[in-house]
Chains A and B, each alone.
Chain A
Amino acid sequence: MEMDTITEIPDDEYILKCTSACAGCGDSLTLRYVLKAAGPDIVLVMPAGCTAAFQGIYPKTAFTVPVVNIAFGAAAACASGISRMFLATGRTTKVIVYAGDGGTLDIGLQALSGAFERRTDFLYICYDNEAYGNTGMQRSGATPLGAKTTTTPAGKAEVKKDIDAIIAAHNPPYQATACASYPQDLFRKVRKALTFRGPTFIHVLSPCPPGWRYSSEKTIEVGRLAVKSGMWALWEREHGNLAISAPTKAAMKKPVPLEEYLSVQGRFKGIDGTTVEQLKEQIRETFHRFREEEDRP
């Protein structure tokens, strides 16, 4: 399935080029393909974060779809209101939240959990740059173990919060992970998510040159290394059933050494051997869990 042809992706653009996002911004890339997959009949709900910051300044907007900005912790709740109003009036316009990792794993978690528990009909996309990008790269619950941020100058001492397991516990009809460096896979998953009624979730690793401290032309490469090393895994769950996506299947057979992923980024500079071992152990555990689940009849 991974080998969908690029030709099925429409040429239409719903976010203009030349926003104020940083060069090589993975979030922008993610957003571009999310919008191509979703098409024009949507409402985007957006909490505070980098995307809100580069949307353009009133009276202009970089989007050709409606964008409802909302407070940092309130995206899923605001989307609930829109979704239920559309339900009341029989409108089929899709409601999509586009929120950062901070707006999802941290401050927005309560609203997110509530909206999922209420079976809100919407798609929630978390673009994950593993820190608070908009405020200058402070740690978030999504920052991986060992990564330096401005509030973890010696490297984060705790592991990344498993938001996907938290979402899975809400039993959504569809959830997936994706990565900005695999746009076809992302495109297909967004299209698929939008065929379901009820809450769906896609968690998209979105590399961030200034935050992760690598040079801006390397975004695709860094995202691919994340997947190939196993630091990030691509999969989807339809009604709970796990399907591992092809790039991660390949990584499970033969991962590239984690050091290749870590060494291209300044945020892991000086990481000690024990921490690297802990990260590797995590990857082995994740792959082990995948294999066990796949083997189950």
Chain B
Amino acid sequence: MKKIVTGNKAIAEAVRDAKPDVVAAYPITPQTEIVETLAEYVSSGQLASQYIAVESEHSAMAACIGASTAGGRTFTATSSQGLLYMHEMTNWAAGARLPIVMANVNRTLAPGWNIWAEHTDAMQERDTGWLQVFVSTVQEAYDTIFMAFRIAEHNKVLLPVMVNLDGFTLSHIMQPVDTIEPGDFIPPIHLPDSVDPKNPKGYGTITGPGDYFRFRWELAHSMRESVSVIEETQSEFAKRFGRTYGLTEEYRCSDADVVVVSLGTLGKEAEVAIDILRDEGIKAGSLRLRWFRPFPELDLAGKEVVVIDRDYSFGFGGVLAHSIRSKNLVKVYSVIAGLGGQEVTYDDIAGFIRNRRIGGESWFGVNDHV
């Protein structure tokens, strides 16, 4: 069925149809509409979940951890300060191998208070063991939620998944969505070691260096294995519902001399920039990373690369730019843009590519020639 909804509403609808047992969540702009909508679904009987209106994000994630340890499918949503507040528990969720799905509406971190889009919140979670996916349209947000549950709960993965969408530029944008009946696309949840007094076990008990080290290796291994599970899930989704997703989304890349790399809605903006540049005779392409963890293998050999970071690691650089550099022997022009919700248009992106200074770093609009 086709309808026009916001990114937040699309997420909530998908979560409803993925039928979580427990939703534990706390409001924060620009995510609030997701949890409000879910609360409404539960209250009107459209969703037979336990909705736990917790008193903080730390507790939201702790409650999801509890419910997931008890064998349940769980969901939460947050953003920015809320994500930081639950950081202790996001690590716990991944270390405990719990397939919790979370929507994170990317927002700037205070101070000063700023509710607009930025990716630094998600970047600060990149080493926790969560799978991280960034979406760029309302349809993609909707579809990715179904895939996230299936991937997280796959017995080769058993890791939490964070679905990232840009605050306002996607969470509050209305776009058409073709809804689906997921049917058995997400199999019933079956967690191998859920709590059972008839078979009592210790969960997260004291663990010596040898076993701890092995558990970490197993987590790393599952993260690697998740690549094939993601690919299989995405192709199964395409087969059933007719929409195709990859680890990345490439636009006019194959013959490009210069490729702009980005995350989220900037990737869609970049496609317009590419068309403009192609008309000018510049052989440019756009590569949008959908999956950030696991970080996909990219084939950028022989191309110049412009990376847009809507985040920053102080004393280091743009996180995405450095990730590209460390995984590929390519020369990169690093553009820091869109922090604090700064507007970045396709014309701006075309400008980044035209005026690229490979090897350099620029802060768009502040210091274009660092």
Q: Which residues of A are in contact with B by a Cβ distance under 8 Å?
A: 40-43, 45, 52-53, 55-59, 61, 63-71, 73-74, 76-89, 93, 110-111, 113-114, 117-118
* Chain B residues, CB < 8 A from A83: 66
Evaluate contact between A77 and B54: CB separation under 8 angstroms: yes
Contact with A along B53-69 (1 / 0, CB 8 A): 11110111011111111
Residues 324-369 (chain B) with a chain A CB within 8 angstroms? none
* Chain A residues, CB < 8 A from B110: none
Evaluate contact between A66 and B196: CB separation under 8 angstroms: yes
CB-nearest residue of chain B to A78: B66
Task: Decide yes or no whether B267 CB sits under 8 A from chain A.
Answer: no
A-B residue pairs in contact (CB < 8 Å), sample of 16: A55-B206, A57-B208, A61-B202, A63-B200, A70-B204, A74-B89, A77-B59, A81-B24, A81-B62, A81-B63, A81-B64, A81-B68, A81-B72, A88-B22, A93-B197, A111-B56
Task: Decide yes or no whether B74 CB sits under 8 A from chain A.
Answer: yes
Count how many chain B residues have C-beta atoms less than 8 Å from C-beta atoms of the other chain. Answer: 41
Evaluate contact between A73 and B58: CB separation under 8 angstroms: yes
Q: How far is the CA of A41 from the CA of B200 in the complex (A)?
A: 10
* Chain A residues, CB < 8 A from B89: 71, 74
* Chain B residues, CB < 8 A from A73: 58
Q: Total contacts A to B, CB within 8 angstroms? A: 158
Residues 6-64 (chain B) with a chain A CB within 8 angstroms? 21-22, 24, 49-50, 52-56, 58-60, 62-64
A81-B24, A86-B70, A88-B21 known; A71-B88 Cβ under 8 A: yes
Evaluate contact between A110 and B59: CB separation under 8 angstroms: yes
Known: A57-B205, A63-B200, A74-B89. 8 other contacts (CB 8 A): A67-B202, A67-B203, A74-B62, A77-B62, A78-B65, A81-B66, A81-B74, A89-B21
Task: Decide yes or no whether B245 CB sits under 8 A from chain A.
Answer: no
Evaluate contact between A110 and B55: CB separation under 8 angstroms: yes
Evaluate contact between A58 and B66: CB separation under 8 angstroms: no
* Chain B residues, CB < 8 A from A43: 70, 195, 197
Evaluate contact between A85 and B53: CB separation under 8 angstroms: no
* Chain A residues, CB < 8 A from B62: 70-71, 74, 77-78, 80-81, 111
Q: How far is the CA of A53 from the CA of B54 in the complex (A)?
A: 28
Residues 177-217 (chain B) with a chain A CB within 8 angstroms? 195-197, 200-208, 211
Q: How far is the CA of A240 from the CA of B58 in the complex (A)?
A: 30
A64-B200, A68-B195, A81-B22 known; A59-B211 Cβ under 8 A: yes
Evaluate contact between B211 and A58: CB separation under 8 angstroms: yes
* Chain A residues, CB < 8 A from B197: 40-43, 65-66, 93
A57-B205, A80-B54 known; A65-B200 Cβ under 8 A: yes
Evaluate contact between A68 and B204: CB separation under 8 angstroms: yes
Q: How far is the CA of A76 from the CA of B49 in the complex (A)?
A: 20
Q: How far is the CA of A84 from the CA of B56 in the complex (A)?
A: 17
Task: Decide yes or no whether B71 CB sits under 8 A from chain A.
Answer: yes
Closest CB in chain B relative to A226 CB, distance in Å: 30
* Chain B residues, CB < 8 A from A53: 206
Q: Per a CB cutoff under 8 Å, which of B54, B72, B88, B200 touches A66?
A: B200
